[in-house]
Amino acid sequence: MCHRSAASDTETAEPQRNPTTATRSRNRLMDRHEQGVREYRELIGGEPHEKLAAVRAASPEMYETMIDSIFAGPLSRPELARADRELATVAMIAAMGGADDKLAGHVRAALHHGWHPSELRALAEHASAYAGFPRASHALEVIDEVVGVRPPAVRRVRASDHDTLVASLGETGPAVVLSGSFGIDWRMWEPVMARLAVGRRVFAYNLRGHGAAAGSPRPFTMTTMADDVVALMDNLGLDTAHVVGLSMGGGVAQTLAVRNPERVDSLALLGTTDYPFTEAFRVRARSAEVDGIAAQLEPTLTRWFTPAALAANTWGVRYARERILRFHPEDWVAAWNAFAEMDVQGKLADFGKPVLVLSGEKDASCTPEIMSGIADRIPGSKFQVLPGTPHQQTLEQPELVAEALDAFLPAER
């Protein structure tokens, strides 16, 4: 005969209930109470009788109402996902103000459910339009205190013939310039910037036509985009930099190293190519013209992420999806046409500086075979494969990327 362990049973783990409720049906009541306890654990995390101890001590009736009627009631409904409920709760408490401890607790719960710090900060910024700047700015302070990591400083900087956004982190050490993927903006680097900024000055920017640099002069070429980096470095006061590029940013980095090798201290090439798949790239450009941007979501995201990340709808997937949907069709076309004309293959054989070629094992766009070919054509380069990693390396496996780049890039220790 099996015996239940009292220590593991929900009824005994939860403190004794208020005897004033004993006149109600015990079986029905305990079932609902257990449902509320379970929902609290899933939604907030932890044991309610511990986290709500102050409420229970002051008013057992209020505590029971919260568990039996609220958490077992509307908060348990499946029409809203638990993650969405936490985001809504953060917004409401931030708008009301005056409940810092409750706001901090729900910020932690939102992070537990997969919301990214940047999404929570954007939520506070959004609240400023409706709840006012004092409450919104105070919510930002609470969010940053809970997150515990200072976000990058963001400013507008001139790049050739347009302005772009540059995010920076780190006060001293060698300069590192991060050139990003087609279709998204500087924030793709945020998951790795904190680690890279230890002993380094790290700068991530928006490519021409991307994000806040949308609508920059068209048409353009990869040479134009490399010249943008030179202008950007000049305006940031950087004589040289270690240049890291992913996907299209890797093409920009290679073009920069070919044209201005004296400005590049080292190269890190992530999930990129040195050969333009001209017809495939032009097909993608034409598809945006004919079918629209929304039609680019499915083929792009399935190239960029693993099925597991897509199924989980991780922050990286949510961020990439939104960036694609907001992309101007004319910029999309111009960028793919520029990428289709890249001309760098075989031109870095005499580069003579450190080069890291970092490939994702599960990259469906720039496979390890393609990436190893780049390494073969750059004598002395280091080739490394990141296990389980797709094309959008920093958005799905940031820890692996940060570890590899941290080991490769020099730092002030």
Residue pLDDT, tens place only, 350-379: 999 999 999 999 999 999 999 999 999 999
Residue 214 sits in a domain of what CATH number? 3.40.50.1820
Give the whole-angstrom CA distance, residue 257 versus residue 223. Answer: 11
| Claim to verify: residue 255 and residue 237 sit in the same structural domain | yes
Tokens at 98, concatenated: 């005056």
Query: Based on the domain organization, do 196 and 92 belong to the same domain?
Result: no
Question: What is the pLDDT at residue 108?
Answer: 95
At 284 the pLDDT is 95
Q: Are residues 343 and 268 in the same domain?
A: yes
Q: Distance (Å, rounded) from C-alpha 351 to C-alpha 9? A: 66
Is residue 143 domain-shared with residue 205, that is, in the same domain? no
Read off the tokens for 401: 């990327």
Same domain, 139 and 252: no
Task: Note the pLDDT of residue 304.
Answer: 98
Is 184 domain-assigned? yes
> Would you say residue 10 lies in a domain?
no
Measure the CA angle with vertex 331, ends 292 and 287; round to 5°: 30
Q: What is the pLDDT of residue 7?
A: 39
- Does residue 137 sit in the same domain as residue 171? no
User: Are residues 190 and 205 both part of a single domain?
Assistant: yes
Q: Which domain holds residue 182?
A: 153-408
pLDDT of residue 387: 98
Q: Report residues of the chain scoring pLDDT below 70.
A: 1-30
Which token pair is 408?
A: 């490769």
Final residue of a structural domain among 147, 165, 185: 147
Among residues 147, 176, 199, the one where a domain terminates is 147
Query: Could you tell me if residue 117 is inside a domain?
Result: yes
pLDDT tens per residue across span 187-233: 999 999 999 999 999 999 999 999 999 999 999 999 999 999 999 99
Do residue 71 and residue 165 come from a single domain?
no
What would the 3-class secondary structure string for 25-44 be? CHHHHHHHHHHHHHHHHHHC
Contacts of residue 350, defined as CB under 8 A and 6 or more positions apart, other chains included, come to none
Report pLDDT for 413. Answer: 83
In a domain, 5, yes or no: no
Domains: count for the chain: 2
Q: What is the pLDDT of residue 409?
A: 98
Here the CATH number for the domain that contains residue 68 is: 1.20.1290.10
Q: What is the pLDDT of residues 73-87, one digit of tens each?
A: 999 999 999 999 999
Query: What was the pLDDT predicted at 22?
Result: 43
In a domain, 14, yes or no: no
CB 261 within 8 A of CB 285: no
E strand or H helix at 359: strand 355-360
- The pLDDT value recorded for residue 125 is 95
Which residue has tokens 């490939």? 359
In a domain, 8, yes or no: no
| Same domain? 283 vs 374 | yes
Q: What is the model's pLDDT at position 98?
A: 86
In terms of domains, do 97 and 214 share one?
A: no
One DSSP character per residue, 179-199 reads: E--TTS-GGGGHHHHHHHTTT
Decide if 7 is inside a domain: no
Whether residue 223 lies inside any domain: the answer is yes
User: Which of 103, 125, 147 is a domain's end point?
Assistant: 147
Closest CA to 348 of 263, 229, 233, 267: 267
- pTM for the model stands at 0.88
Same domain, yes or no: 166 and 90: no
Q: Are residues 228 and 372 in the same domain?
A: yes
